[in-house]
Structure 1
């Protein structure tokens, strides 16, 4: 894989409605009160180096997002015990490592998983510092988008992962926490996987590749980079999703999928005709709305949803 320098290249935010429903009209970022997060469990992975501005929440395209996260947390969304399968998924929202699309790619996805019997845990991982002033923040996001696609902004996989030590540590801590409380949360410790969106897809893949001791049962990069990586011999099964009109990652080949296949590891890939980037559970009016059911079917077919 190659990712964009500084923001990882897996951008899921802001200009051009990257992470928001396409039908929404209000692109302005508006501040909001921090929501109550009574079930959020601190991961205690430490602060962000150089972090100055406090964590702040805002809305864009009508959904909640956060930035300047310096203390990682994990929020459980547990299924009804009567329908629980024992499977679990760490959910990593996107946002270019400058913000997190908590509602569109976190809470909604976690609730959908819990409704289908999968214990879900939204990972609010640490981010790069951004200006406290909203106007200055918007300018920083605009500058981030301006760098996308420039050859000098692209990094090798190893170099990109080396810059994600905070996110990898948060991913590792999330898996360790769920495994340590597996009995309490009704989770099979051998069936914990990770699903991520855009920058969250990079966090997912970086955790799997750089921290194999997490022993993930599956990885699901949703509209993440499709460039090739070196696949470990014991890499987990992979489920990938991308829209053919994704402005960031389409029309650049499918090296990630090819690499997984050439390594002899289980892989399934869905390329949808339309959906753009940042469609969450699916963009209305496109076939991208089918990916979630396909994902659940894949988990089931691989024996990950069988109650034990």
Structure 2
């Protein structure tokens, strides 16, 4: 408790704090001895790779605006990199300003052997079957990281000033895949209360345990997604509605893949407006 009180003091003073999800080495990757690295392929959009230590960065709700809702955010990057700004910290800041306590999840990814993970990843994007085979062990680890994040958030809800029954999980691309894997893998008591998979990839989702409780879903994708992921979102919407879970689908005419919080002068720029409206309608905002 003393440690956590110190954490709260840090949150109050700094506005955010990063915590480790595991007390020691993350289970399953105890022998990983490489260091996390960062690069910025485009302005104001850092990428992380070689992540070995899962963390949560906490963005408390803006002062006087907290409404009890919280959301864990999983950035994308094909389980090789993490788009930590556009699909992570920038989303968290936007949520915090609206009274939602946000948590950016840094989860384990596949090791890159050189200084430019894009150079290794791009050829694999032409062969998703091979990419899925390479990613499979790490997807399982990342899923456990996501479940561990839920344990932390729900277990510390009172001290964090949030409602454990108003906790959502959202993610982008691979983070959307992770969102679905966490939901369909976690035990019932740890399943998120709502989800927002954004341009998610369905073929790497291995979880199978549907939630017993009604779990609203906000689903978004661009019709011109250059990775061909639009049908994945459409099929998820159909599955969710067929299972009697509330669901809302937005297919934007343009925006390509990976629009995140970047403004591209495309219709996908409005996804945050639609998401905010959905949160209000669902009483999460």
TM-score category, normalised to shorter length: 0.7 to 0.9
| Aligned residue runs from structure 1 range 180-259, under 5 A | 180-213=155-188, 214-225=190-201, 232=210, 234=212, 236-250=215-229, 252=231, 254-259=234-239
TM-score by length of 1: 0.78
Distance 1:275 1:241, change over 3 A: same
* Counterpart position of 1:31: none
- Stretch moving more, 66-75 or 45-54: 45-54
Distance 1:248 1:55 in 2: 27
- The structure, 1 or 2, with the larger RCO (C-alpha pairs under 8 Å, 6+ apart) is 1
2:120 equivalent to 1:114: no
Q: CA deviation at 1:215?
A: 2.6
Distance 1:226 1:172, change over 3 A: closer
Distance 1:261 1:255, change over 3 A: same
CA contact (8 A) 2:230 2:251 kept: no
Distance 2:149 2:261 in 1: 22
Q: Give the count of matched residue pairs.
A: 263
Deviations 1:102-151 (A, max 9, x none): 111100000000011111000001111111x315x343122222324xxx
Gaps (5+ residues) in structure 2?
1-14
Distance 1:224 1:251, change over 3 A: closer
* Counterpart position of 2:19: 41
The root-mean-square deviation of aligned C-alpha atoms, in Å, is: 2.7
Distance 1:256 1:162, change over 3 A: farther
Q: CA deviation at 1:81?
A: 3.4
Distance 1:273 1:89, change over 3 A: same
Q: CA deviation at 1:80?
A: 2.2
| Aligned residue runs from structure 1 range 1-308, under 5 A | 39-44=17-22, 46=26, 48=29, 51-62=32-43, 63-131=45-113, 133-135=114-116, 137-148=117-128, 152-153=129-130, 164-213=139-188, 214-225=190-201, 232=210, 234=212, 236-250=215-229, 252=231, 254-305=234-285
Give the number of the structure whose residues are more often helix, by fraction. Answer: 2
TM-score by length of 2: 0.83
Gaps (5+ residues) in structure 1?
1-36
Q: CA deviation at 1:191?
A: 0.6
Distance 1:243 1:172, change over 3 A: same
- Stretch moving more, 78-87 or 49-58: 49-58
Q: CA deviation at 1:283?
A: 3.7
Deviations 1:205-253 (A, max 9, x none): 1000011431311010001136799672525211100000001134636
Distance 1:173 1:231 in 2: 17
Q: CA deviation at 1:163?
A: 5.9
Distance 2:112 2:216 in 1: 35
